Amino acid sequence: MIKFTDVNYHYKQQSFHFDLEVEAGSVVAILGPSGAGKSTLLNLLAGFITPVQGEIKINNGSILKQAPHQRPLSILFQDNNLFTHLSAYENIALGLHPGLKLNAEQKLRLHTVSEQVGVENLLDRLPAQLSGGQQQRIALARCFVQDKPILLLDEPFSALDPVLRVAMLKSVKSLAKLQNVTVLMVTHHIHDALSVASDFVFIDRGTALAVEKITYLNTTHNNKQLVDFLSAEMNR
Amino acid sequence: MPLINPLTVFVRLLKPVQIPGLLLSIGIFLFVLVAVNALFAYSPVLEVTAILSDPYYRHITTFSFYQAALSTLLSVLFAIPISHALFRREFRGKALLLKLFATTLVLPVLVAVFGLLAIYGNSGVLAGIFEYFDSILPFSIFGLNGILLAHVFFNLPFACRLFLQALNAIPDKQHQLATHLGMKHWNKFRFVEWPQIVAQLPHAAGLIFMLCFSSFATVMALGGGPKSTTIELAIYQAIKFDFDLQTGALLALWQICICSVLAVFIQKLSRSSSLTANYQGPKNTFYHDSWLAKCWDFSWIIVISLLVIPPLLMVVIAGLNTQFFVVLTDIKFWLAFKNSLLIAFFAALIAVSCAFFILLASRQWRLIGLNGYADKIEMLATIILVTPGLVISTGLFLLLRDIGHFSSLALYIVIAVNALMALPFVLKSLSLPMLHNAQKYELLCASIGVFWWHRFYWVEWKALRRPILQALCLSFVLSVGDLSAIALFGSHNFSTLPLYLFQLLGSYQMQSAAVIALVLLVLSVGVFIVVEYLFKERRTQHD
């Protein structure tokens, strides 16, 4: 469903090369050391940066000419996912209409999704009146009301404690399944990947290995860099 | 790699949202250039020798530097112990005093001059006290004394606020560490507090010097003769009274040269700092207190209170006199009032709109690290800082006099010049909030598709309403009190409140002048209060 063909990108003397394919309905963990290019992969897909050469296709159609908001995906950043001067309701509603003019159907959808994410009682509050976890839930609700087939997570839960982080990821997974959404999540916690992902891709010094089933994510893998990375992470 | 033309890179990096700001910036620069050029048609070359060999020009140049240097020295020097005292002490009314400090810089010059005259003038309160003891005032407020007094009145509180802000930035842990190490007053000042102040010193001194050097209304009202004249005022006299455009142009060019050199010099010295309106730092923990230290601090606080409060108070007291209703029922007052409001309202609107678009352009560049481009586009729009407003109004008048009738043009020219003069202040106060907004929300807006009008309303306006409104108020107050743009065009048919006040002062109608000064003071302070009240945060309920 998502296909990177010979995609090249350069930034500050570092070059990136991606050639990979993601199946519809999977939850893919993007793993790798800091600076390897995990976020670069997401940014290329989201359209914040443009590749020097190569092709990115979603459902067999090129998306390179599309602006970020036109692409069939929603994204959750590490921080600044919410406008701090707008209420939770307004923040979610911006995902449905950029001028907040919702019709009855959209309002219904907003309330349904808020219930599914578990924030229906928080809609009147400003972000400052919410905990870190609640804030990211509101942002997640906005991603789901946008009704796009792909969800990108750029470590949105990394500031939360380990228990809450896994709980959030699990609820993302069940919602994604419910709405038939493909998820790409950047993480550097092996534990997160093992507990929610169906597949993984390892990125090392700007190059992605193939997308593999999550069961292959162990120290008997034939890639030495991946094994080193895994043992270092597991010993933490 | 193929050779890439820098222009192609520039165009490729340019986003549509930047185009209005870019055009505006270049437009403003050209506008100023054309206006200045119109005047320079009368003085084709700068004859430095002509200036240096003429004793009068030499005198006003020296005097401009002399009074600016003295004013700066006094303001900055006294600001050190005063800000230090304010930093260490909490007392009832401190917040109010700091608010008053914030008003002195934007207060219409003539209102302050009126207040100072009411205290230190020949028939002021001080003279009254001396008379009671059968003696006379040992000094005259006209001349260098008065200029220095007024400049210190405006700038000492400003310098105090800058230093106080620097002192408030000292982390709490450093105070605790200083106490732990047993540092007392002098040593703590030397090792902890002084470094903070000294970091702000060049910036503060440079700014104050520049403001005093190009001071116009103060010198016009208190100079009292050719002995105490600045270049800025000499330009006005040459053009308005002698209609000697050649001399005016020559002096203007001289002023622009000096100001440009000063501006570059200050740019080199300064670190940018933004001043928040009512900043209250963390509560200062002060362990080694003593009776002597208390006396020292409170003496300085009393000194600054005596400088700032009485003139403002006198404006209020003197304004409520028997002439109050006579002035308020005079048609001349209402005409001036109407003109002032019109000019200030439109100048503020234009200044803030221009600043908004220019900052939209510059912050895009800052986001991707092209600070050089961003600085340049902002600098183009602040060219007015080195060009006397008077020169632009004259140039515009010369350009446009063939097109329309003198008095019908005057209003538009004054609005345009006031907007230009307010622009640097607005740019300065909005640039940081707008940049922060973009840093936080640029990607988010791109990913959910919030653009143009929606972006402006839901993201910029909703988040930046406070700073935008404050910038509007600031430019409104600067324009409502301005005398330099109107001075040239004022006539019996066309006047503003400051000009009317100046005319009344000139003809010694002190009671009527007092009423106008009070109205201007209320207008300047009132607009901030009214706007704050009207746009109080209101939470809207969703359905």
Whether residue A77 and residue B443 make contact (CB cut-off 8 A), yes or no, is yes
- Residue B456's Cβ-count burial label (10 Å; 0-12, 13-18, 19+) is middle
Residue whose C-alpha is closest to residue B502's, from B365, B348, B340, B353: B340
Whether residue A85 and residue B462 make contact (CB cut-off 8 A), yes or no, is yes
Structure tokens of B25?
Answer: 């910036």
CATH of the domain at B271: 1.10.3720.10
Better-predicted residue by pLDDT, B374 or B348:
B348
Residue tagged 């006209």 (tokens): B142
pLDDT of residue B276: 44
Q: How far apart are CA B112 and CA B363, in angstroms?
A: 37
Alpha helix positions (H), B368-405: 371-381, 389-400
Q: How many CB pairs under 8 A join A and B?
A: 68
* Residue A79, in any domain of the structure: no
Domain end call among A123, A147, A171? A147
**Cα B397 vs. chain centroid, distance in angstroms?**
25
Q: Verify that A31 and A103 share a domain, yes or no.
A: no
| B464-477: pLDDT as tens digits | 988 899 899 989 99
- How close does chain A come to B26, measured CA to CA in Å? 30
Interface of A to B at Cβ within 8 Å reads 46-48, 67-70, 74-75, 77, 80-81, 83-87, 89-90, 93-95, 98-100, 107, 123-124, 142, 146
Domain that holds residue A95: 84-147
Cβ atoms within 10 A of the Cβ of A3, count?
16
Which residues in A lie closer than 8 A to residue B458 (C-beta atoms)?
A: 83, 86, 90, 94, 98-100
* Residue B9, in any domain of the structure: no
Q: Verify that A57 and A171 share a domain, yes or no.
A: yes
Domain that holds residue B108: 15-40+65-542
Cβ atoms within 10 A of the Cβ of B80, count?
19
Q: Verify that A163 and A125 share a domain, yes or no.
A: no
* Distance, first Cα to last Cα, chain A: 35
| A162-217: pLDDT as tens digits | 888 888 898 899 888 988 999 999 987 888 888 899 999 999 888 888 888 888 88
Per-residue pLDDT band at B284 (split at 50, 70, 90): low
Q: Verify that A157 and A141 share a domain, yes or no.
A: no
pTM value is 0.81
Q: Which of B446, B463, B540 minimises the CB distance to A68?
A: B446
Helix (H, G, I), strand (E, B) or coil at A73: strand
* Residue B48, in any domain of the structure: no
Q: How far apart are CA B509 and CA B503, in angstroms?
A: 9
Which residues in B lie closer than 8 A to residue A70 (C-beta atoms)?
A: 449
How many domains does chain A divide into? Answer: 2
* Residue A116, in any domain of the structure: yes
Q: Is the pLDDT of residue B322 over 70?
A: yes
Q: Verify that A184 and A156 share a domain, yes or no.
A: yes
Whether residue A90 and residue B458 make contact (CB cut-off 8 A), yes or no, is yes
| A50-95: pLDDT as tens digits | 899 999 999 999 999 888 888 999 999 888 889 888 899 999 998 8
Q: Verify that A51 and A141 share a domain, yes or no.
A: no
Type of residue found at B7: L
Q: Verify that A152 and A225 share a domain, yes or no.
A: yes
Shortest CA distance from B440: residue in chain A? A80
Helix (H, G, I), strand (E, B) or coil at A218: coil
Q: Verify that A55 and A155 share a domain, yes or no.
A: yes
